[in-house]
């Protein structure tokens, strides 16, 4: 059983098997991307042990913990071997997955839960590596990496400009991207959650963001969409937002009619009641009469008119926000008469121009 640093743990475990032995509630709040939860204690058992520790002391709490864990030990080994087997294409029906593959184990602080689980796996002949400092150490590393200086180019543009689509097209063209909206499972507006299901916690969003950035080549630039400090319920790390706001951008100048076409394609098949609820959510910013008119248009099936009313607010808000940013530079790219492939080529040219003209960026301060 070897204890390794957070950096070693994350690097070595990529494509491997990460086992998080914390309780299900802890795991749901946030976990290392790709980890599997094999809880040493259930949420209820953990609460009982915690209460005993406070009221009766460490030894009593330990005894209760052993009482809970004892009957589960064989199951822990079977589950781990199954996870190892499922995670490797090299395991055959006759092979012993534990003898050939490594389980990367952690708890919250690298304490008794991960140590005892690792001891059990070691006794069963399973190779195991333990995260020194636990998930807490991983979080410190992730937040530190997210906050460092990045080589980014910001893709800017008014609502409906198709920024998310162009990010994907840039990726297909060989550019690196970080899709914040994809990581947050939210489109970034008051209507952004409709039809997408549950968002991750802010903590898990940060973990996903770390994994996305960590997978990139730091010697090359990456593109990121111009976003604010929140994506639905998710809060974007402040140091990352500061870099977005200060980095050079390319502004996609898309005609309003085209933007309406894009919005109808994206939102046109969504539930009208949810669209109405989202419209009510921006009443103060949209204005009472505009909200009423937009809702009537939705009820009548005239989503283009409803979208046009909403764009009045979103365009004004976006342009005001842009004017207040301490952005290094912004290049305007008109897309009139251009196909998507031409736009992507022009975006890459614009990014090259920005980088060729840029002076060394300053480190973002707290």
Which residues are part of the catalytic machinery?
A: 107
| Cα 140 to Cα 5, 21, 106, 134, distances in angstroms | 12, 19, 15, 10
Q: Whole-angstrom Cα distance, residue 100 to residue 217?
A: 30
Tokens describing residue 280: 């009510």
107 Cβ contact partners less than 8 Å away, ≥ 6 residues apart: 20, 21, 22, 40, 113, 114, 117, 134, 135
Backbone angles phi, psi at 322, to 5 degrees: -60, -40
Q: Give the CA angle between residues 250, 251, 255 to the nearest 5°.
A: 145
Q: Whole-angstrom Cα distance, residue 194 to residue 187?
A: 9
331-335 contacts at long range (C-beta below 8 A, 24 or more positions apart) = 331/248, 331/249, 331/250, 331/251, 332/251, 332/253, 333/250, 333/251, 333/252, 333/253, 334/253, 335/252, 335/253, 335/254, 335/255, 335/258
DSSP H stretches of helix in the chain? 6-13, 24-29, 43-56, 58-69, 73-86, 97-100, 112-123, 134-147, 163-172, 180-184, 202-214, 238-246, 256-267, 272-280, 283-286, 288-299, 303-323, 340-357
Q: Whole-angstrom Cα distance, residue 181 to residue 258?
A: 22
Q: Whole-angstrom Cα distance, residue 52 to residue 184?
A: 38
């Amino acid at each position: 059983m070897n204890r390794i640093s957070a950096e070693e743990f994350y690097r070595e475990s990529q494509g491997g098997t990460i086992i998080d032995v914390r309780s299900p509630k802890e795991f749901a709040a946030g976990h290392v991307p790709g980890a599997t939860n094999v809880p040493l204690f259930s949420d209820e058992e953990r609460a009982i042990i915690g209460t005993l520790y406070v009221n009766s002391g460490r030894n009593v709490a330990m005894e209760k913990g052993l009482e809970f864990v004892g009957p589960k030990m064989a199951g822990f080994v079977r589950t781990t071997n199954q996870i190892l087997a499922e995670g490797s294409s090299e395991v055959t029906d006759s092979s012993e997955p534990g003898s050939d593959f490594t389980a990367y184990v952690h708890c919250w602080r690298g304490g008794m839960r991960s140590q005892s689980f690792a001891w059990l796996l070691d006794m069963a002949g399973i190779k195991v590596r333990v995260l020194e400092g636990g998930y807490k150490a991983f979080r410190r590393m992730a937040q530190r990496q997210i906050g460092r200086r990045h080589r980014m180019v910001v893709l800017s543009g008014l609502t409906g400009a198709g920024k998310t689509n162009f990010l994907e097209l840039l990726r297909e063209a060989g550019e690196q991207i970080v899709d914040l909206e994809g990581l947050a499972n939210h489109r970034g507006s008051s209507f952004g959650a409709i039809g997408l299901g549950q968002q991750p916690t802010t903590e898990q969003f940060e973990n996903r963001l770390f994994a996305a950035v960590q997978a990139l080549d730091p010697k090359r630039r990456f593109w990121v969409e111009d976003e604010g400090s929140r994506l639905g319920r998710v809060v974007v790390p402040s140091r990352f937002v500061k870099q977005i706001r200060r980095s050079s951008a390319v502004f996609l100048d898309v005609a309003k009619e085209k933007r309406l076409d894009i919005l109808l394609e994206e939102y046109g098949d969504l539930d009208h009641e949810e669209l109405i609820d989202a419209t009510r959510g921006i009443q103060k910013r949209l204005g009472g009469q505009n909200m009423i008119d937009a809702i009537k248009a939705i009820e009548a099936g005239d989503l283009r008119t409803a979208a046009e009313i909403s764009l009045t607010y979103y365009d004004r808000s976006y342009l005001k926000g842009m004017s207040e940013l301490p952005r290094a530079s912004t290049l305007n790219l008109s897309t009139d008469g251009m196909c998507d492939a031409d736009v992507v080529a022009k975006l890459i040219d614009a990014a090259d121009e920005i980088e060729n003209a840029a002076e060394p960026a300053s480190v973002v301060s707290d």
